[in-house]
Amino acid sequence: VKCSSAGEERTRLEYLRSENAIARGIYNQLGSGIIPFTKSGSWMESHQFIAQPARYKTGYRKSIFLVFPSNYLTISSTVNIYGTQFGTDKIAHFFQQGYTYYKIYNRALAKGFTPEKAARKAVRWGQKTERTFYGTLVSGVYSNADLFSNFVGMKFYQGLTRPVKIGSETKPAVLFLKDGIWTFGENADLRISFIKPFISDHLNEALNPSMFIKGLRSSVRRIVRKQSCQQWHKQYPDLSQADLNQTSEGLKLWYGEDYGFTDSENFVTIANTCFGN
């Protein structure tokens, strides 16, 4: 085996001890794949979990994309993680687009941006892609939940090697450099510290509404009213329109941080579809 020069080996070792190397390593294992698919998302869709049912995907004839058949192919299964229900596509956004946010943020910092402006630059990139090839242009859907997943994905990558502020609390770094080797923090419980702090109802598109193009919007509202409203009323008999509106209103920010939520007067929500007009 031919060895590299001492200088090349030192450069390589320096990189492996860097924060960027850790982020890239995690991305390679969980976020890589052909856009919009990822290793972690594919695993979520295919793994035979012990607890069943582990995933739910509605049939085509009951889906909101009945009049847009090609969109049904992009529908992800719904999972319940840490008590929050959301589509497995959010896992892809978290690990894949979250990593892109992370890189945009770091490049902006290197150019002299403040942390706030660097984060805003990443968010603007996400909004642009959601209007185009990750959202509206392809599927007719602009998802605020996707934007949230991108944003907290960035926070996840930042928090691998540095403390991250989440609301009034500070989440310790997951990994620490000790004697030149990356190690997990003492008494670290990855079930709690790895992704749980970033999972919330912001990922649930029934509560954090999306925008649909005009032709699709009326179809979605009609199908939700026909297929879902009765089930919502049955499962949550005490839930009111005001409660749902309040919940959705509270998802526009994440602990006071702007993740790129875009408001609209034309949202299709459980509140205005199952309780209204």
* pLDDT tens track for 229-247: 999 999 999 999 999 999 9
Domain membership of residue 1 (yes or no) is no
Cα dihedral 79/84/89/92 (nearest 10): -110
Domain membership of residue 127 (yes or no) is yes
Domain membership of residue 3 (yes or no) is no
Domain count, the chain: 1
* pLDDT tens track for 12-34: 999 999 999 999 999 999 999 98
Alpha helices in the chain (DSSP H): 6-16, 19-26, 39-46, 69-72, 89-92, 98-110, 115-131, 136-139, 144-158, 190-193, 214-227, 229-235, 241-249, 270-274
User: Which two tokens mark 100?
Assistant: 């892109």
Secondary structure (3-state) at 87: strand
Domain membership of residue 8 (yes or no) is no
Domain membership of residue 29 (yes or no) is yes
Q: Is the pTM of this model over 0.85?
A: yes
Is residue 61 within 8 Å of 70, Cβ to Cβ? Answer: no
Phi, psi at residue 117, to the nearest 5°? -70, -30
Question: In 3D, which of 81, 234, 69 has the Cα closest to residue 149?
Answer: 81
- Min mean pLDDT across 54-63, 137-146, 167-176, 232-241 is at 54-63
Domain membership of residue 115 (yes or no) is yes
Q: Respond yes or no on whether the N-terminal peptide bond of residue 172 is cis (omega within 30° of 0).
A: no
Domain membership of residue 109 (yes or no) is yes
Exposure letters 200-228 (e unless 16+ CB within 10 A, then b):
bbbbbbbbbbbbbeeebbebbbebbeeeb
Q: Check residues 267 and 35 and name the one with the higher pLDDT.
A: 267
Domain membership of residue 4 (yes or no) is no
